[in-house]
Amino acid sequence: MDEKEKNSKKNSRDRSEELDETIEMGEARVRNARESIHCLSIIGQIEGHYFLPDGQKATKYEHIIPTLVSVEEDDAIDGLLVVLNTMGGDVEAGLALAEMIASMTKPTVSLVLGGSHSIGIPLAVCARRSLIVPSATMTIHPVRINGLVVGAPQTYRYFEEMQKRIIRFICAHSGASEERIRELMMRPDMLATDVGSIVEGEEAVRIGLIDQVGGLCDALECLRGQIRERKQKKEKR
């Protein structure tokens, strides 16, 4: 077997492994002559400390954490595109992932498709640039918990402190004010079974929650712009 045939078989295996990863994990690495972009999808519910019932689409945070570490440390990857269509889920797991993405040194862009609800909002705003398609929605509501809750003052204080952490994160990584977020969070006349608000794409941009309305092409262009800027800064050093 000559060297050319060996390389061809190796490339074929690499493509097959990448396809398996795309199918299994909802991730893909896009390469061209200029840059390499890792695409990470966060869909369904964010599964954290407890298993979700069978039949529900879920993003497992224990799978996402090593992926983010790999993207940050791999010199072959130039940037991260996070694509979101999530109902929310485990608050601590979602906030932990948002903190990890926000702390990355690599260029990052988030794109909201369909919706990014509840704890999906910190994940939508954690990237350096955030985009949302016009038809997407975002549901803002107070912290909730399923199951048995002890009706004690300490429990309510715990919820309040958790809610403060979420609001602080959203305000620190977007242009929305704390007053506006709390107002939308406690709105009583929009949701049938809860207080809160549903914000559509253009409104999310108007209130400063998301940076701009746009689709996949716009998100990729933003990410490529960040990558070019980062490379130029490295060359000047």
- State the 10-residue block means of pLDDT for the chain, 237 residues long: 52 49 61 85 85 76 91 94 92 93 97 94 97 96 74 79 93 95 90 85 96 96 95 82
* Residue 24 placed within a domain: no
Residue 21 inside a domain? The answer is: no
**137-140 and 27-31 beta bridge pairing:** unpaired
Q: Which among 41, 110, 116, 118 is annotated as catalytic?
A: 118
Catalytic residue flag (residue 141): yes
pLDDT value of position 14? 53
Among candidates 63, 114, 108, 64, which has minimal Cα distance to 85? 114
Number of domains into which the chain is organized: 1
End-to-end Cα, the chain, rounded Å: 45
How far is 129 from 203, CA to CA, in rounded Å? 17
User: What pLDDT sits at residue 13?
Assistant: 54
- List the beta bridge partners of residue 88: 45
What is the pLDDT, as a whole number, of residue 6?
52
- Answer whether residue 219 is part of any domain: yes
Active site residue 174: no
**Beta strand 36-47 pairing with 58-60:** parallel
Q: Given this model, what pLDDT does residue 153 score?
A: 80
Judging by DSSP bridges, how do beta strands 58-60 and 129-132 pair with one another? Answer: unpaired
- The CATH number covering residue 57 comes to 3.90.226.10
Beta bridge partners of 140: 197
Phi, then psi, of 213 in degrees rounded to 5? -85, 135
8 within domain boundaries: no
Asked if residue 5 belongs to a domain, the reply is: no
The residue segments making up the domain with residue 86 are 32-236
CB 56 within 8 A of CB 69: no
105 part of a folded domain:
yes
Which residue among 117, 141, 173, 174 is the active-site one?
141
Predicted TM-score (pTM) of this structure: 0.83
**Per the domain annotation, does 2 fall within a domain?**
no
- Residue of 134, 132, 95 whose CA lies nearest to 116: 132
